Amino acid sequence: MTDHAFMRLESARGCIQHCTYCFYTQHYKSVKYFSLPYVEKILEFARDNGAQQISFTDPNFNDRSDFSQVLQIMERFNDENSFQVFVECDADRITDPIAQRMKKAGIQATEIGLQTTNETARKTIKRAGNLKKFLRGIRALQSAGIEPVIDIMLGLPHDTVEDFKKTASFILIINSRITFSYSL
Ligand code: SF4
Question: Is the model's pLDDT at 91 over the cut of 90?
Answer: yes
Q: Which atom of ligand 1 is nearest to the CA of 25?
A: 5
24 lines ligand 1 (CB under 6 A): yes
Question: Is the model's pLDDT at 78 over the cut of 90?
Answer: no
Encode pLDDT of 113-156 as tens digits.
999 999 999 999 998 889 999 999 999 999 999 999 999 999 99
Domain ranges of the chain: 5-183
2 pLDDT band, cuts 50/70/90, is: low
178 pLDDT band, cuts 50/70/90, is: low
Alpha carbon distances (Å) from 105 to 52, 83, 87, 95, 96: 13, 9, 12, 15, 14
Q: Is 137 helix (H, G, I), strand (E, B) or coil?
A: helix
Q: Quick one: pLDDT at residue 35?
A: 97
Quote the ligand 1 centre to 134 CA distance (angstroms): 15
Instruction: Name the residue with higher pLDDT: 94 or 177.
Output: 94
Q: Which atom of ligand 1 is nearest to the CA of 18?
A: 5
Quote the ligand 1 centre to 80 CA distance (angstroms): 33
- Pocket residue to mutate for ligand 1, from 10, 16, 17, 122, most atoms within 8 A of Cβ: 17
Cα 78 from Cα 65, distance rounded (Å):
22
59 lines ligand 1 (CB under 6 A): yes
Q: Quick one: pLDDT at residue 162?
A: 96
173 pLDDT band, cuts 50/70/90, is: confident
Burial class of 3 by CB neighbour count within 10 A (0 to 12, 13 to 18, 19+): exposed
15 lines ligand 1 (CB under 6 A): yes
19 lines ligand 1 (CB under 6 A): yes
Q: Per CATH, the architecture of 5-183 is what?
A: Alpha-Beta Barrel (3.20)
Quote the ligand 1 centre to 120 CA distance (angstroms): 18
